[in-house]
Amino acid sequence: MVRTGIAQWLRGRRPSIAGRALFTFALVLGVIVPSVAAAQDSGATEPSLLGNFTVVISIPDVQRDIANGPALYGRWQITFRADGSYGADRADLVGELISGTFVVDGDQVTVTDDSGLLSCSNGSIIGNLPDAATGVYRWNRTDDRLSMVPVADDCAGRRILFSTRQLTGYAPCATQPLALNVAASPEAQASPVAGTPDTMTPEAGSSPVANSSAEAAIDELLSQMTSCWATGQPEYFLPLMTARFRAEFLQSSSGTTDPIAELATLMASTPFVWQRTGDVELTDETNAVALVRQAVNNQEDFVRYAFALEDGEWRWNGAG
């Protein structure tokens, strides 16, 4: 469970602003809104299965007796195309590992694998299950989140990919990697931003709603946080924080602790998804707050996050 994992990471760290900020990340300091399933607007356009989605499969998700199970570990891109074809590839490999076709009938979709190293038509994957190439799922889409529940599928690998957790909209990680020796050094705090998570929470009703360009930029930031976290490489995720918050985030209580290595372990084992669910409120020209959906596995919380404009880019600045 993510709360336990981060609690273990924080064990031995001295109490500080950094510790409180990190707890906000997963223990949800601040305003928590009960999880409520989003209802579809009866007057809205019917949702479509078509799109480009992603899911992260971690080691605990895969049973040991599944053929080629370790090949499922990692971040996947799953695409349902308008021509009725679909494909799946892993982010760290080149080319599709699974390709096939699909047919939608109401809230059910029938998927048939045709080819690929991890295809359910591949005898080395399915063994003596000749009918495993085809599976049936019940699907439901809300915005860019896609849920798929198995109705009938003998292919264990496909069940893991499709139904371990919700699929979310895919966006490639586009950050420039940060030199990790710089990220962990005290000099990383040399460019502080106005305000801190402890001081910049606005009084109720006192903050103007941000304009559309700021909202779009923060939405893109949250999308990049999700995508870059899924790489499992801290050097791609850390640049999405302000320099000040990044330094606080990485502070440790002893010289023997390697916070970057611990962060990499957490990234590899715990898939996070971030998505804005409330208005962006400006506290001044360079600082903002917004309610963010923070999901891991099948658990979600709603957390007030702070953002700051630094070097012309909006970045995560801890708790709001």
Please write the tens of the pLDDT for every residue from 280-307.
999 998 999 999 988 776 677 899 999 9
Q: Where are the domains of the chain?
A: 2-30+171-319, 51-169
Angle formed at CA 236 by CA 235 and CA 238, multiple of 5 degrees = 70
* pLDDT value for 297: 64
Higher pLDDT, 202 or 120: 120
**Once rounded to an integer, what is the mean pLDDT over residues 42-64?**
78
**Once rounded to an integer, what is the mean pLDDT over residues 245-271?**
78
Q: 226-253 pLDDT, tens per residue?
A: 889 888 889 999 999 999 999 888 885 4
Q: Where are the beta strands (DSSP E) in 154-248?
A: 167-169
Higher pLDDT, 173 or 201: 173
* pLDDT value for 186: 47
* pLDDT value for 46: 67
Distance CA 259, CA 253 (A): 10
Q: Where are the beta strands (DSSP E) in 128-195?
A: 134-142, 145-152, 167-169
- Local structure of 310: helix, strand or coil: strand
Beta bridge partners of 145: 142, 168
* pLDDT value for 205: 45
CATH code, 51-169:
2.40.128
Fold of 2-30+171-319: Nuclear Transport Factor 2; Chain: A, (3.10.450)
* pLDDT value for 82: 95
**pLDDT of residue 144 exceeding 50:** yes
Flag whether the pTM goes above 0.75.
no
Annotate 23-66 with DSSP letters as a single string: HHHHH--S------PPPPPTTSPPP-S-EEEEEEE-GGGS-TTS
If you average pLDDT over every residue of the chain, what do you get?
76
Q: Where are the beta strands (DSSP E) in 155-216?
A: 167-169
**pLDDT of residue 44 exceeding 60:** no
